């Protein structure tokens, strides 16, 4: 299966310059593992991850706070060009964050500010696999303290590492276990996809 893995990080601030390379390594690793990168279709660390994923021939999907391309470019002043598809949510930043997380299979936090913390807490509350890239600054380095002091739910769904490639592998391993009971080939044969008149799926059937 191809998983959609969100890279959440700061759009501006100190961690952008400090952790640019780490975000790029995350984007590259997700692409090379054969999975789909999702971001908030924004600047900063998510942008660097998306650009790196595209350079590695990966798939990049952006979730914009805007309701249209015009609004995305001129109101929010957000980038294009590194996304295979942009979902114009029209939900502004807070709603976009929730929609982005709920549309992904897992999330990885690199650097970050309050928006990244919002995405992380949304993912934890949703019992979603969460990766935290330690030593990337900002939100990512505050999360361990919060996890120890606030008694969050679903602590078992949060993994930490200071190596981007290793962290991506941990997240993929968690997702593999999460969906181990689903046989995708078997799902293709379910009744809701079965067309007795489909000669490609049923070569013994001949249309009259």
Q: Is the pLDDT of residue 189 over 80?
A: no
Confidence at residue 3, expressed as pLDDT on a 0 to 100 scale: 97
Confidence of residue 181 (pLDDT cuts 50, 70, 90): confident
CATH for 4-182 is 3.40.50.450
Confidence of residue 172 (pLDDT cuts 50, 70, 90): very high
Burial 66-78 (b: 16+ CB within 10 A, else e): beeeeebeeebeb
Q: Is the pLDDT of residue 137 over 70?
A: yes
Q: Which helix (H) or strand (E) holds 108?
A: strand 106-110
Q: Where are the domains of the chain?
A: 4-182
Confidence at residue 104, expressed as pLDDT on a 0 to 100 scale: 98
CA-to-CA separations, 42 to 37, 96, 103, 151, in angstroms, rounded: 13, 11, 16, 31
> How many CA within 13 A on the CB side of residue 43?
11
Let me know how many helices (H) and strands (E) the chain has, helices first. 8, 7
Mean pLDDT score across all residues of the chain: 91
Query: Is pLDDT larger for residue 168 or for residue 205?
Result: 168
Confidence at residue 206, expressed as pLDDT on a 0 to 100 scale: 40
């Amino acid at each position: 299966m191809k998983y959609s893995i969100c890279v959440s990080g700061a759009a501006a601030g100190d961690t952008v310059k400090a952790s640019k390379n780490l975000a790029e390594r995350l984007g590259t690793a997700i692409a090379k593992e054969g999975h789909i990168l999702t971001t908030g279709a924004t600047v900063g660390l998510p942008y660097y991850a998306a650009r790196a994923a595209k350079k590695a021939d990966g798939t990049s999907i952006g979730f914009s706070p805007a309701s249209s391309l015009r609004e995305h470019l001129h109101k929010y002043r957000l980038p294009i060009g590194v996304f295979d598809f942009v979902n114009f949510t029209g939900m502004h930043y807070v709603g976009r964050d929730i929609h982005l997380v709920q549309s992904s299979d897992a999330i990885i936090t690199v650097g970050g500010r309050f928006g990244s913390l919002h995405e992380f807490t949304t993912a934890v509350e949703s019992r979603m696999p969460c990766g935290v890239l330690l030593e990337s600054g900002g939100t990512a380095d505050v999360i361990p303290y919060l996890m120890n002091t606030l008694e969050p739910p679903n602590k078992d769904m949060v993994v930490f590492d200071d190596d981007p490639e290793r962290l991506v592998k941990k997240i993929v391993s968690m997702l593999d276990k999460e969906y181990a009971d689903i046989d995708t080939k078997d799902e293709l044969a379910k009744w809701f996809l079965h067309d007795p008149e489909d000669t490609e799926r049923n070569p013994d059937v001949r249309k009259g």
